[in-house]
Amino acid sequence: MTDLYRLLPEEMEQMVIELGQPRYRADQILFSLYYKFPKTISEIKQLPGAFRDTLVDKGFTIGSTQETHRITSEDGETTKLLLSLEDKVPVESVLMQYPPKKLFGHPRSTICVSTQVGCAMGCVFCATGQMGFDRNMKAEEIVGQVIHFAKILSDKGQHVTNIVFMGMGEPLANYSETIRAVQLLTHPRGFGIGQRSITISTIGIISSIDKLAEENLQIGLAISLHSPNDKLRQWLVPTAGENSVRDLIDAGQRYFLKTGRRVTFEYALIQGINDSVEIAKELALLLKNNGSHVNLIPLNPTAGDFERPARKNVIEFERILYNSGVNCTVRVEKGTEISAACGQLRTDVLGKYNNKRE
């Protein structure tokens, strides 16, 4: 079985030609997939019935990802979906909307996609990291998350404006499928979103960051730092290496020099752990004149014992960085109350699923 959402436009052309069809059939399929959102091949009405039957006979399908649950925040700006993949494994993805800049404009609609079921990085403060790892997601499953939300937005006369690979899992640990998904989503004959509207977040796989820099893509890169020193970072991120802080900063600099895209360092602020004045000064000294951007993220409630810092501590941490010449902002969090914010994604039904699977 092959999901049509897996095929790049060039591969779609090759497929239709091999099946004895004219080349333009590929564009008919692509237009339908990314603008009409069919649920089955029979709904691609631009194609002759006989060719639709042939596609089904040859084992082609559409969208193996199915929505099983939806929850929306009280302000209506954040929606979290629980999706069931082809093998019935559940995964979460999130839509975050922000007010339009113009009075009558469309809202900014950012889709946060997952790339793995669970995560093997084991970050002690992250709900997904505490789930453990099940499997990598396929590119079509990643794209399917965007398509689900694109259909929801289309029904309201809106559209996807940004995509962030910040959901469940480590994108660069599922490198080839993540890159295929980016190619499908940015291809002008595919979903067609601009490369600069996509950001990949990573806990820091150095070799994959360097590999990403060579992909000739203009996507953003966000590196989860969380500490200015290796001892603390290794405790927060068990998979971190002995010199991970310096290695990540250097990798970020190489990415910037190769792509021209400024790197963001994400920093989850945890009460009494990494939010002190001393640590802020240590981080400022490390990143001063680096040219990067620091995104401060007050810890969101998870199943662990870690706490969100007081607002005054967050402001003081930001002030120290800013006064030291470090470009920084405090992230505007959305969906905290529905466990849809950064670090909160964890499929509550996963235990039930595992019990059934056994």
Using pLDDT thresholds of 50, 70 and 90, give the confidence band for residue 355. very low
Does 1.20.1280.290 match the CATH number of domain 2-61? no
Residue 112, SS3? strand
Taking 50 as the threshold, does the pLDDT of residue 172 lie above it? yes
Q: What are phi and psi of 346, to 5 degrees?
A: -160, 120
The mean predicted confidence, pLDDT, of the chain is: 90
pLDDT of res. 340: 43
Q: Do residues 131 and 122 make contact, with C-beta atoms less than 8 angstroms apart?
A: no
pTM value is: 0.92
Active site residues: 92, 342
pLDDT of res. 334: 54
Q: Do residues 328 and 296 make contact, with C-beta atoms less than 8 angstroms apart?
A: yes
DSSP secondary structure, 93-106, as one string: EEEEEE--SSTTSP
Tell me how far CA of residue 206 lies from CA of 90, 254, 287, in angstroms.
29, 11, 18
Using pLDDT thresholds of 50, 70 and 90, give the confidence band for residue 14. very high
pLDDT of res. 331: 81
CA-wise closest residue to 145 among 178, 172, 175: 178
Check residues 296 and 100 and name the one with the higher pLDDT.
296
For 268-283, what is each residue's pLDDT tens digit?
999 999 999 999 999 9
Check residues 273 and 335 and name the one with the higher pLDDT.
273
pLDDT of res. 301: 65
Mean pLDDT along residues 313-327: 96
Most distant pair of Cα atoms in the chain: their distance = 70
Residue 118, SS3? strand
Taking 70 as the threshold, does the pLDDT of residue 109 lie above it? yes
Taking 60 as the threshold, does the pLDDT of residue 358 lie above it? no
Query: In residues, how long is the chain?
Result: 358
**Separation of alpha carbons 259 and 29, rounded Å:** 33
Q: What are phi and psi of 202, to 5 degrees?
A: -135, 145
For 339-352, what is each residue's pLDDT tens digit?
444 444 444 544 44
**Separation of alpha carbons 319 and 71, rounded Å:** 36
Q: Do residues 99 and 110 make contact, with C-beta atoms less than 8 angstroms apart?
A: no
Six-digit token pair at 337? 């109350």
For 59-83, what is each residue's pLDDT tens digit?
999 987 889 999 998 888 899 999 9
Q: What does the domain layout of the chain look like in residue ranges?
A: 2-61, 66-357
Q: Do residues 289 and 245 make contact, with C-beta atoms less than 8 angstroms apart?
A: no
Taking 50 as the threshold, does the pLDDT of residue 222 lie above it? yes
**Separation of alpha carbons 26 and 344, rounded Å:** 39
Superfamily for 66-357?
Aldolase class I (3.20.20.70)
